[in-house]
Structure 1
Amino acid sequence: MASKEYPVVLRFEGMDPSDIGGYEAHRYRKGSDLGHIDRNMPRPRRLLGTETWAAEARAEIELMKLETFAAELADLDRRNRRKDIEKRRIEGPRDPWRTSRHGPMRELILTANKEWFDHTGSSDVIFSNAREQAFESRAVAWLLDTFGEDVIHARADTDEQAYHIHAVIMPRATVNKYGTECRVLQPSIHPLIKDYEAAQDSVGKWFSEIGLVRGEKRKQAIRDALNNGRKPPVNPRHVRPAEWRAKEEQRLAEKAAEVGLRERDVVEREDDAATVLAFADAVAEGEIDTNGRPAKSAGASRNPQTQPPPIKKTTFGFVAARKAFRAVAKRLAARAEEKARREAEKQIASEIAEIKAADEIILEIARALPQNQRERIAQIRRTLTAKIMALDPRTKGRSKRPNAGFEEPK
């Protein structure tokens, strides 16, 4: 059985000089995203560059700006462009690089799968980090061979999930501007920054000596698929660990908030349903009238063991139930007293429609109840419906079913 092959991983990240401060803060494990750091492991180890590389880089960039600015003013003076000189003096020095979305510098990351580093082939503690040492030696040699003195800093991180190396490339170049040679930052000066596939080929060949292979040739696979009329494979966009963790934390927080809202909604619906059930039960037993007030003919209180939950008069359930029953009782009673039977039937038909609309409100809330409680409220509604329908002269003798024309809760 062939042994598993592990690719060497190389990534370039765009970097602006203003990013150096954040880079250093993370190197010293101060602030930013530190949730994935193992505090029991050694802190990052510097491999290339001085301890003050960040300050030195900033100073060198400022010197480039001033040198180019002085050359520009001297050129304007030679051409006797006095107005332009005054304007440029007010504007001040410009950045010595061409503006782009990636920035003029590059942060480089080199690593391999954690399994490759963990597989030492020996139980001896002395050799537990042998592969890290071999990888580190190869990485430093490749960086110097590829970028030379433009590698202004490199470090090894050993306190995260997998061993990896960070490096900062400051691509120095010289261009002819304002009649003289001016120093600038120009990433394309390095062929492997300009050509990502060539960079992958380079590290694949360089690290093959320690058993690693080149990563998947995604761009070549895309080209081959397009040439053969096939759907090209997805070229995934790399997301930095800090960015992924921030988005994941936000997603989980939003999900938790959504679940909390649903749970509160369910509780409120159950409370409203329980209130409707208690209200309807009390009206059916003659304890309260349809306005929610104690009935004059109310007898002794029922057995405490069968006492329904207390009616919360501020809930949606109470208001909906009281409004429904009050409208039904009051309007039907008034219409039943009208002498003109035909006009009364016409009016009562409208009221019956209102009864059904009010009944739908109760049904909607009742559907949130368990089966046994839905059966209970259905029984109570049949009693109440019989009382209400008795007020309608059209229903007398037409149906023995007390809830004719009304839907049962399902």
Structure 2
Amino acid sequence: MSDDPYKVVLRFAAFFPGVLSRIEMHALRSGGDLDHVDLGLTSRNRAHVGATFAAPIRTEIKGMMRQNRAEEVTALRKARQKTLADQREEDGFLRPYKESANGPLREIVLTANKAYFAAPPDAPEEDVLITYSRDKDGHPIENRLCKAKIAAFEQRGLEFFKTYFPDSVRHLRLDLDEEAPHFHAIIMPVVEKTSKRRGRQLMIEPGSNPLIRDYEHAQDVAGEFFGCLGLVRGERRAEQRREALEADLPLPDVLKSKAPRDWRAERAKKLLDRETQADQRTAEADQKIAHADLAAALARDEREEARRRQQLAEERQKEAEQAIGAAQTHAATARASKEAVMVGLDAILKQELTYLPATDQRRDGLTFGPAAPESRTTRDRLIDRIRPASRWLTDIAAWVARLLQREKDLHRQEAEITRRAAILAKAEAAQGRSVPGDIAEIAASRMPVTYTASSFPDAWHIGPNADKVHVQRQLDAMENKALSACHRATRDALLLCEEPSELRTGFSRGLGALEVGANQRGYDLATGKHDPHRAADPGRALLHTDQEALPIRVWRQGAEELGAR
């Protein structure tokens, strides 16, 4: 770990009131980009000010607009300017802030590096807060953070906002469901201005707050305020900003608020400089064209003719090369498609690939089947080889899937008829009655003892020497609905195999594995509902989130009275 002190991170972002709902949606974790958020830990988040803020802020702004217009009309009437007062009363409301490029509101993020909050290796578990993140390959990482450091940072952060943003905080929360703890705040600085013509006006002026007005000053204040926690000031970016402005490049960060007149003046200067540079480039280009025309006029006719002939020859050669390239590309595409078809058909017949039906969220396609290669490298190579003919192979796989389904249905019906015939034959024999010839023939010709694992294609049979790692991979690859369907088929196969045998034992292993897999991810096989909070293995809680749709319930008024009668 580095010996350098950790820096406090204080960032400002300007925005317009129109995006308040989107910011609130992310704050409530009801939408937006949630890939970096662990929804299972969202209940830890603490909203200290304004858990919901979009509607209250918009209502406050509308109230300011109404009050400002009423004050202005009253001031005009006192000044005996009746015409202007009547006109202002008929006009619409005015925004209580000056136009700017970025908007009048500010979102503030306050945090420190995740390593600052890290718990000592020997810290007791009750003093450790666990958060999760992912590495560059998408694998989950467990972060062990110190609860005492988080509590101290939270207390100091609340004091910071209370001290430097009094009466301006409309929303303040501490997020603990991401990689590192951090504050989010919505700031709306309101100032009161009075004039004879407009009366008392309430205006949103972010520049009225010294920290918003001067980014470098804000960093100095934050470094000093959080120094008691061992944090230091963030990096200095004023020099980077000056260099970016001089080079007409995007600013490295939102550093400082500007008055609208300063922003418009700077923008006008940039446009004027660009127009001047464009005029200079145009003049230089015109001069070059004039020189080129003069040189062409002085060239001899023979040289011009030779140039035209050479140009014509080059164009014909280029056309020939393009035609040859197109033919070679077409031939290569045809070869790739042929190879993709041959490899894909072989994989479908071997059940390395199988058909994946369409859903509301995706179109149909191919997926790995029960005989798919275990190696991820081999799987990726197979996908690359069949990609040129993937759409055609999908149609073939759908056709094969329909044939296999029909075969499965026939096997299932045959097995059910045999089972029922055998049960009926046993019952007749137990009663001392003769078994009808047709039933005896059906029961005797295909008794359940002749079943094999292939007789139940949808069920899962696990052999006695099965690799546990491979079994777990197969479980992780199943979506929730697929796992539920396989569980039903395996349970039916277990019921059909009445006599104790290795076949029945294998299906029993499969049934147990499916129930363990469902418990790992928090999926209820009885109801078809998925609840990540009930997952026995948090790392697998969000592997698959699909679940059965809620049933439609019909409430009939007066049903209790009718039942009572």
After TM superposition, the score normalised by the length of structure 2 is: 0.39
Identify the residue that residue 10 of structure 1 maps to in structure 2: 10
Q: How has the CA–CA distance of structure 1 residues 12 and 237 changed in structure 2, closer, same or farther, with 3 Å as cutoff?
A: closer
Contact 1:151 1:167 in 2 (8 A): yes
Identify the residue that residue 206 of structure 1 maps to in structure 2: 225
For the pair 1:169 / 2:197, whether they are aligned, the reply is no
The DSSP-based 3-state class of the residue aligned with 1:167 is: strand
Identify the residue that residue 132 of structure 1 maps to in structure 2: 150
In structure 2, distance between residues paired with 1:363 and 1:78: 84
For the pair 1:192 / 2:211, whether they are aligned, the reply is yes
Where in structure 2 are the equivalents of 1:10-409 lying within 5 Å? Answer: 10-43=10-43, 45-51=45-51, 53-120=53-120, 122-128=122-128, 129-177=147-195, 178=197, 180-220=199-239, 236-237=252-253, 361=323, 365=327
1:193 corresponds to which letter in structure 2?
I
In structure 1, distance between residues paired with 2:176 and 2:212: 26
Higher relative contact order (CA 8 A, sep 6+): 1
| Greater Cα offset, 71-80 or 42-51 | 42-51
Identify the residue that residue 251 of structure 1 maps to in structure 2: none
Q: Deviations over 1:52-108 (max 9, x none)?
A: 544433332222111110111122323444443343233222111112123222110
2:3 corresponds to which letter in structure 1?
S
Q: How has the CA–CA distance of structure 1 residues 362 and 44 changed in structure 2, closer, same or farther, with 3 Å as cutoff?
A: same
Q: How many residues align?
A: 250
In structure 1, distance between residues paired with 2:325 and 2:16: 63
Identify the residue that residue 384 of structure 2 maps to in structure 1: none
Q: Deviations over 1:128-177 (max 9, x none)?
A: 22222222111111111111121122001122232211011110111113
In structure 1, distance between residues paired with 2:322 and 2:219: 68
In structure 2, distance between residues paired with 1:360 and 1:29: 54
1:51 Cα deviation (Å)? 3.9
The DSSP-based 3-state class of the residue aligned with 1:102 is: coil
In structure 1, distance between residues paired with 2:174 and 2:96: 30
Identify the residue that residue 276 of structure 2 maps to in structure 1: none
1:200 Cα deviation (Å)? 0.4
In structure 1, distance between residues paired with 2:100 and 2:77: 30
In structure 2, distance between residues paired with 1:96 and 1:59: 13
Identify the residue that residue 259 of structure 2 maps to in structure 1: none
In structure 1, distance between residues paired with 2:187 and 2:67: 21
In structure 2, distance between residues paired with 1:7 and 1:47: 24
Contact 1:120 1:130 in 2 (8 A): no
Q: How has the CA–CA distance of structure 1 residues 75 and 126 changed in structure 2, closer, same or farther, with 3 Å as cutoff?
A: same
After TM superposition, the score normalised by the length of structure 1 is: 0.53
1:122 Cα deviation (Å)? 4.1
In structure 1, distance between residues paired with 2:94 and 2:241: 40
RMSD in angstroms over aligned alpha carbons? 3.5
1:44 Cα deviation (Å)? 6.2
Segments of 5+ residues of structure 2 without an aligned counterpart are 129-146, 255-315, 336-565
| Greater Cα offset, 96-105 or 47-56 | 47-56
1:50 Cα deviation (Å)? 4.0
Q: How has the CA–CA distance of structure 1 residues 222 and 29 changed in structure 2, closer, same or farther, with 3 Å as cutoff?
A: closer
Q: How has the CA–CA distance of structure 1 residues 125 and 179 changed in structure 2, closer, same or farther, with 3 Å as cutoff?
A: same
Segments of 5+ residues of structure 1 without an aligned counterpart are 239-353, 374-410
In structure 2, distance between residues paired with 1:191 and 1:219: 16
1:5 Cα deviation (Å)? 2.3
Q: Deviations over 1:292-339 (max 9, x none)?
A: xxxxxxxxxxxxxxxxxxxxxxxxxxxxxxxxxxxxxxxxxxxxxxxx
1:164 corresponds to which letter in structure 2?
H
1:186 corresponds to which letter in structure 2?
E
